[in-house]
Amino acid sequence: MINVSVIGATGYAGAEIVRLLVNHPHVNITCLTSKQYSGMNYSDVYPSMRGVVDIKCQEFEPDIIAEKSDIIFLALPHKLSMETAKSLFKYKKKIIDLSADFRFKNALTYESVYDRHLAPELLEHSTYGLSEVFFNNISKAQIIGNPGCYPTSVLLALIPLIKEKLIHSETIIIDSKSGVSGAGRELSLPTHFCEANEGFKAYKVAEHRHIPEIEEYLSDAAEKPIHVTFVPHLVPMNRGILSTIYADLTDHGRAKTIRECLLSFYESKKFVRICSESILPNTSYVKATNYCDIGFKVEARKSRLILITAIDNLVKGAAGQAIQNMNIMTGIEETTGIDNCPFSV
Amino acid sequence: MINVSVIGATGYAGAEIVRLLVNHPHVNITCLTSKQYSGMNYSDVYPSMRGVVDIKCQEFEPDIIAEKSDIIFLALPHKLSMETAKSLFKYKKKIIDLSADFRFKNALTYESVYDRHLAPELLEHSTYGLSEVFFNNISKAQIIGNPGCYPTSVLLALIPLIKEKLIHSETIIIDSKSGVSGAGRELSLPTHFCEANEGFKAYKVAEHRHIPEIEEYLSDAAEKPIHVTFVPHLVPMNRGILSTIYADLTDHGRAKTIRECLLSFYESKKFVRICSESILPNTSYVKATNYCDIGFKVEARKSRLILITAIDNLVKGAAGQAIQNMNIMTGIEETTGIDNCPFSV
Amino acid sequence: MINVSVIGATGYAGAEIVRLLVNHPHVNITCLTSKQYSGMNYSDVYPSMRGVVDIKCQEFEPDIIAEKSDIIFLALPHKLSMETAKSLFKYKKKIIDLSADFRFKNALTYESVYDRHLAPELLEHSTYGLSEVFFNNISKAQIIGNPGCYPTSVLLALIPLIKEKLIHSETIIIDSKSGVSGAGRELSLPTHFCEANEGFKAYKVAEHRHIPEIEEYLSDAAEKPIHVTFVPHLVPMNRGILSTIYADLTDHGRAKTIRECLLSFYESKKFVRICSESILPNTSYVKATNYCDIGFKVEARKSRLILITAIDNLVKGAAGQAIQNMNIMTGIEETTGIDNCPFSV
Amino acid sequence: MINVSVIGATGYAGAEIVRLLVNHPHVNITCLTSKQYSGMNYSDVYPSMRGVVDIKCQEFEPDIIAEKSDIIFLALPHKLSMETAKSLFKYKKKIIDLSADFRFKNALTYESVYDRHLAPELLEHSTYGLSEVFFNNISKAQIIGNPGCYPTSVLLALIPLIKEKLIHSETIIIDSKSGVSGAGRELSLPTHFCEANEGFKAYKVAEHRHIPEIEEYLSDAAEKPIHVTFVPHLVPMNRGILSTIYADLTDHGRAKTIRECLLSFYESKKFVRICSESILPNTSYVKATNYCDIGFKVEARKSRLILITAIDNLVKGAAGQAIQNMNIMTGIEETTGIDNCPFSV
């Protein structure tokens, strides 16, 4: 059994890690920390958990956590995450960080949209946790920078096509739509029920912090700088991200080669499903699962590719991929504990 | 491994059985039948299931089904269910019927609100599948009349109290609220998105078909006839039933005795959770789980008990309890395959 | 033209008053006050209002407000409301208060569930603003205690029946369900989108502050003390209250007499619609209107009446009734400005 | 008073026309027709309308309708619409058709995506009813081809910019998102509550019938053929369309010129609101109103314009614009009857 702690266990991402860990056959949850709710029973914070997770939330103390854990998940706001990682690093435990703090190879990129980086010396020990793409790096890393929800929904579709040069990388436009849980459990007017319900809007148009993350890994794949247009929107539902991605095809890019490229890239990867022509992704098809569904259509008259991807922002876009990474890091079969059956309704 | 078939696998109840069976460690799904979709791949009917359930839907043929199954779930409209059960009975396979056809001991009660009963001779081989209450009968029966969703949410709370004579049985008023999936996948104007969304209404006021089912098992517990007032309502959400139940307390009925009675009755029963005073049931706490949460409040100045129960109508109210019954019938640990962790969001 | 100010114009009730005043042909909005947003343009607080209400929100200053207003709406939290009313009273302007501060004749009743009453001397100048029932008092009062949303949905149905002694007043049970806007615009975890969406729960079971308000006016009608059981629930939708009310019929109470009593009581009242037998109230039928729909069913075998009422909590349950009261107080036709056509979808 | 009939009054678009006509001060509703519900009272089809619209639905008979109407709205499926218009034309009454049948100048364009055109001889008497853009034509036409919902949300933003050559017309990508009422009241699996709720998907990717309509009027404005990429999506809410439109700027296109162009084009047009920089459109800001909100952002590093528009698909995208056109055709102030105040919640 793997001993696991979750630091910041009472936000939505942390709680989703807890949920999935409970379902994981090889895991023993040892510590759950919470600043806001320390001292309270976890099931008083989340009454759905009565009789299931009756652990008491505690304050974060690095030596106690390190002693009791083989794997430590950080589900904290950025900045606090790297401080926490720093305090844990010396204990040589594996850390999976869901914030943005370890997603960038270069601290400067991080600092261009977030804060000053407080632990640049740890970056060489960390790797980007896009599970299907960076499996080998993940299996050897001590720290995982777990990908953002939007980047996951975008990169899984684009990286294979960019590597094969099937699309003109300067023409990429990404129109993403996210359920409200992406904004977390912290109270705010835009996520107040009556403000979000029965409405639809764009936000942070072409200035969302996930843009550099998307660009970093697309540029890597292209071996040249790529700039994308990215517009996120808020959907009145709890879970799910659908990204509609537009790009002009190169001469090699045709429906057949697109499909072959994607099928081949994800051949042995259970969690990425390439949709047949007759099916388009829908966030409800992947709700509460670790799947990323990818569909596409070629608009022949304009030589334009339209890619559509769907994930559950809390699972493949956060906690599920984090556990997938834990599985990879510990040598367990990648799908363990996160291969539950999708919902029909 | 238990070989299992689902007859009527493409309605919401059938699809939920399929979902839970996929998660069940001791089950092998052998046949899925569907009148409407026979010949189609199950994952073309429910695209969420691609790569998970790629079985072809077939027509129902009793000998083939019987040959390939140890357990047969019927997720059919009433009437068709008993015809199907009749055609399968001779093969001596265990049948779990989710319709109303085998819920009543007396065919006349059934006929008072449904149709003429076409298989009264099977009633002596069947038992009512309220798992926590009728465990022993279930473990020995060949046919299970799986309880209705509303009755499950009502009976689990009331039967213990009535047995202990803690409430005046003639004063029971049940105000239930159900998510829209309770109405099934068949198209209708009231379940058209724009008609159900952002609205709330009562329906079938004091004339719902679940009333005799509720009354039958309450009367049994009381050893005298009980009549209840029952009003169901439609909530703009997919899943969940919350029942608010009002009854006058007898002299023995006090907060303490109510709690003791419920705790004692469900002492070893994992799926019934008696809420502490500080927590009230919420359908979201039991979403996609087999739990029934029961909370209550005594209104002292009126000597009135207010019970509140929450279940997921498709799980504890249908497919989950059906699989719980399968576990009981096959001697497997009762919670197997349906003990997934609840959601936080 | 009537000059009107709204004190506390940026909460949901205040904003709904503003919306309806804009549609009112005889009103001139002179001042909108807001503590939180003073100095901001109203349409920056509510961007839906750009080009429609471009008034600057101001701090409350009694003499300025009094000078510029014939009618003053108070859409404030209780306590702050009576302080504000006190500061305005001497100017002899008509005040319509949407808080609980002027709903009770007797300050002691108020103090039993709210705070110490700070302006008991004003109570003799105030009256309860249930428009259809207290038309005459309203037309002469200087201060209106505008009814609560739940009480409105309950009293309109029960007062006529209690006056006619058609129900046993000691048997009343009220099961109410409200959309989330009833909780206001202030942030809270239960009204955070992901917490309220796709869930249903009861709250403040038998201890909601609206109970004494309901009991006060039922007792008045009965000319004896009445105690009710009242359980409110939260529905995942923006607007609407549906109340399901149970009571035992007296010997006079039969379907026919119930209908006749209600029809006769509301004969000339446009906003109360008694449903025919074939129709049950639905909150979506009254959305954004000032209607109160009342339907009912007699359960003969138990001599029990089941009343169902539907209102829009922000309109008939708050701002709409407030404007109806303004119309009555100013001698305008009662329905002016609030007789917009209901929605079909 | 204008005598008005609505042919096909019981679908969502027809019902929205009825709702707005009731609120219109200069209109007398004379006939409502419905194939499905003829003989029934309108308020039995839409119980929200009890006491408001108690007209009996009738079969369509051209001579009766013509005799009783000055203006006739057709809210019918395409094809049936042109047959109906044909039968009414000789009576010289003004016709406002909400189907696609009179939206194209050239029958061949229509036939490329719809059916064979059955009344090409009427096309010279018809004009496209995009009210703000084609005011003069509308004021003189006998037949109005009322714009589609998606085209309205797209054309109002793009036509001014294309006329001024501020964007490269070959780079236009339109990513639209619609509420479910856009699919009408006819039952279908994708609009079944549980299938649409809590999910988000694209549909008819780059093959929606509104594409030729968008391209026709953009090409007109550009005086050269324009092809666009258009992808519609379904949002789990009742009303609203948000379109996010991407296009590369020409050398003239800068934030300042974009704003000036839009402000100047819509200077005297109340229903088109150009958002200031600090505000982004949201469908909830225009719910149940005839507004079209237009916001935008220039992404300088890519010389790309991102336009965002929001309308209510049933109002500005259908019934509201139809009534705006009626006002224009009859010489009434354009905003009459459709200038209700927007909602705050």
Which of the following is catalytic: C149, C261, C275, C292? C149
Question: How many residue contacts between A and B have a Cβ separation below 8 Å?
Answer: 101
C202, C229, C299 member nearest B302 (Cβ): C229
Question: How many residue contacts between A and D have a Cβ separation below 8 Å?
Answer: 137
Quick one: pLDDT at residue B282? 98
Which of C48, C194, C239, C283 should we substitute to test contact with A (largest number of A Cβ atoms within 10 Å)?
A: C194
Is residue C217 very low, low, confident or very high in pLDDT (cuts 50, 70, 90)?
very high
- In order, the DSSP letters of B61-118 are -HHHHHHH-SEEEE---TTHHHHHHHHHHTTT-EEEE-SSTTS-SSHHHHHHHS---S
Name the residue among B158, B271, B273, B294 with its Cα closest to residue B221: B158
Token pair for residue A227?
């700039």
Q: Do B196 and D193 touch (CB under 8 A)?
A: yes
Question: What is the widest separation between alpha-carbon atoms in chain A?
Answer: 62
pLDDT digits over B52-71, tens only? 999 999 999 999 999 999 99
Annotated active-site residue B149? The verdict is yes
In Å, how far is A237's CA from the nearest CA of chain C? 8
Q: Do D236 and B193 touch (CB under 8 A)?
A: yes
Which residue is closest to B341 within chain A, CA to CA? Answer: A19
- Is D254's pLDDT higher than 90? no
Q: Do B192 and D197 touch (CB under 8 A)?
A: no
Average pLDDT of span A94-112: 97
Is residue D173 very low, low, confident or very high in pLDDT (cuts 50, 70, 90)?
very high
Q: Does A46 touch chain B (CB under 8 A)?
A: yes
Quick one: pLDDT at residue C5? 98
Which residues share a beta bridge with D72? D5, D95
In Å, how far is C152's CA from the nearest CA of chain A? 22
Q: Do A246 and D281 touch (CB under 8 A)?
A: no
Report d(CA D134, CA D128) in Å as an integer: 7
Quick one: pLDDT at residue B252? 83
Report d(CA B93, CA B91) in Å as an integer: 6
pLDDT digits over D31-73, tens only? 999 999 999 999 999 999 999 999 999 999 999 999 999 999 9
Q: Does D341 touch chain B (CB under 8 A)?
A: no
Q: Which of residues 194-223 of B touch D (CB under 8 A)?
A: 194, 196-198
**D82: phi then psi, degrees, rounded to nearest 5:** -70, -30
Which of C10, C34, C37, C48 should we substitute to test contact with D (largest number of D Cβ atoms within 10 Å)?
A: C48
Q: At what angle do helices C320-330 and C12-22 cross, to 10 degrees?
A: 50
- In chain A, which residues have their Cβ closer than 8 Å to the Cβ of B323? none
pLDDT digits over A141-152, tens only? 999 999 999 999
| Residue C51 Ramachandran class (φ > 0 left, ψ -120 to 50 alpha, else beta) | left
Q: Does C187 touch chain A (CB under 8 A)?
A: yes
- Is C259's pLDDT higher than 90? yes
- Is C211's pLDDT higher than 90? yes
Report d(CA C176, CA B175) in Å as an integer: 10
In Å, how far is D84's CA from the nearest CA of chain A? 35
Q: Do D20 and C341 touch (CB under 8 A)?
A: yes
Quick one: pLDDT at residue D220? 97
Chain D: partners with 3+ C-beta pairs within 8 Å: A, B, C
Where chain B has pLDDT below 50, the residues are none
Average pLDDT of span C46-71: 97
B199, B206, B238 member nearest C299 (Cβ): B206
C23, C50, C239 member nearest D340 (Cβ): C23
- In chain A, which residues have their Cβ closer than 8 Å to the Cβ of B15? 344-345
Which of the following is catalytic: B149, B261, B275, B292? B149
Report d(CA D201, CA D207) in Å as an integer: 15
Q: Does B316 touch chain A (CB under 8 A)?
A: no
The share of chain D scoring above pLDDT 70, in percent, equals 100
Q: Which of residues 134-163 of D touch C (CB under 8 A)?
A: none
In Å, how far is D339's CA from the nearest CA of chain A? 21
Quick one: pLDDT at residue A59? 97
Quick one: pLDDT at residue C159? 98
Quick one: pLDDT at residue B254? 85
Which residues share a beta bridge with A31? A5
- In chain A, which residues have their Cβ closer than 8 Å to the Cβ of C185? 189, 192, 194
Quick one: pLDDT at residue B222? 98
- Is D255's pLDDT higher than 90? no
Name the residue among C342, C128, C107 with its Cα closest to residue C220: C128
pLDDT digits over D319-335, tens only? 999 999 999 999 999 99
Q: Do A344 and B23 touch (CB under 8 A)?
A: no
Is residue D104 very low, low, confident or very high in pLDDT (cuts 50, 70, 90)?
very high
Is residue D124 very low, low, confident or very high in pLDDT (cuts 50, 70, 90)?
very high
Quick one: pLDDT at residue C19? 98
Question: How many residue contacts between A and C have a Cβ separation below 8 Å?
Answer: 53
**A245: phi then psi, degrees, rounded to nearest 5:** -120, 130
Average pLDDT of span A241-259: 93
Q: What is the 3-state secondary structure (H, E, C) of chain C?
A: CEEEEEECCCCHHHHHHHHHHHCCCCEEEEEEECCCCCCCEHHHHCHHHCCCCCCECECCCHHHHHHHCCEEEECCCCCHHHHHHHHHHCCCCEEEECCCCCCCCCHHHHHHHCCCCCCHHHHHHEEECCCCCCHHHHHHCCEEECCCHHHHHHHHHHHHHHHCCCECHHHCEEEEEECHHHHCCCCCHHHEHHHHCCCCEECCCCCCCHHHHHHHHHHHHHCCCCCCEEEEEECCCCCCEEEEEEEEECCCCCHHHHHHHHHHHCCCCCCEEECCCCCCCEHHHCCCCCCEEEEEEEEHHHCEEEEEEEECCCHHHHHHHHHHHHHHHHCCCCCCCCCCCCCCC
The answer to whether the beta carbons of residues A270 and A243 sit under 8 Å apart is no
Q: What angle do CA D242, A236, A294 make, to 5 degrees?
A: 80
How crowded is residue A300: how many other Cβ atoms within 10 Å of its Cβ?
11
The predicted model scores a pTM of: 0.98
Which residue is closest to D291 within chain C, CA to CA? Answer: C48
The share of chain C scoring above pLDDT 70, in percent, equals 100
Average pLDDT of span C270-279: 96
- Is C311's pLDDT higher than 90? yes
Is residue D2 very low, low, confident or very high in pLDDT (cuts 50, 70, 90)?
very high
Which residue is closest to C292 within chain D, CA to CA? Answer: D48
Cα A339 vs. chain centroid, distance in angstroms? 16
Q: Does A341 touch chain B (CB under 8 A)?
A: yes
Q: Does C341 touch chain D (CB under 8 A)?
A: yes
Average pLDDT of span D14-22: 98
